[in-house]
Amino acid sequence: MTEFLEILKYILPSLVLLVAVYFMLREFFKNNRERFSDEMKLASQKIVTPIRLQAYERIILLLERILPGSIVLRINQPVMTAFQLQTALIKTIREEFEHNLSQQLYISSQSWELVKSAKEEMIKLINTAATKVDDKATGTDLAKIIFEISLEKKHSTVDTAIEFVKNEIRKVF
């Protein structure tokens, strides 16, 4: 029995030390993992934040470029017929939209839905205006009707989308 107590006298402090080292190492590795995870998140934010800001900028630019005043003045040529202008406007809106399609990764789903609605509303406005001119009308005639229809609306979906995206970016950053 004395031999057992003698052995226990040497083993027990070693076991206590082993348990203490185990818990200390476990805590050390846990803290290291958390610190590494935090550093990775911070590094990721340094990369993603500028990309997200650029996405919001591009979406606002898209919306501003498809506003009636902007797109008609940019696309309309004095020699264009109403049909040519209608076709060019719709083509330009679709190209602008497709060019910025990947930006949906960086903005909210609600913002993206508003952007899509704004695009569709502009195409609908152009098509509606085109039905109000005759076959021999000039692009200038179509442009006038587009401006008249857009002025009748107090607040378009494009304006709503611009305001929503601006507010979202203010909240996020």
Q: Cα(first)–Cα(last) distance of the chain, in Å?
A: 72
CA separation, residue 97 to residues 59, 72, 113, 132 (Å): 9, 16, 12, 26
Check if the beta carbon of residue 172 is closer than 8 Å to that of residue 49. no
pLDDT tens-place values along the chain, 173 residues long: 788 888 888 888 989 999 999 999 999 999 999 999 988 888 878 888 899 999 999 999 999 999 999 999 999 998 999 999 999 999 999 999 999 999 999 999 999 999 999 999 999 999 999 999 998 999 999 999 999 999 998 788 999 999 999 999 998 87
The domain ranges of the chain are 49-172
Rounded CA gap, 146 and 153, in Å?
11
Check if the beta carbon of residue 115 is closer than 8 Å to that of residue 166. no
pTM assigned to the model: 0.76
Three-state SS at 93: helix
Residue with tokens 């934010």: 45
- DSSP state for residue 133 in the 8-state scheme: S
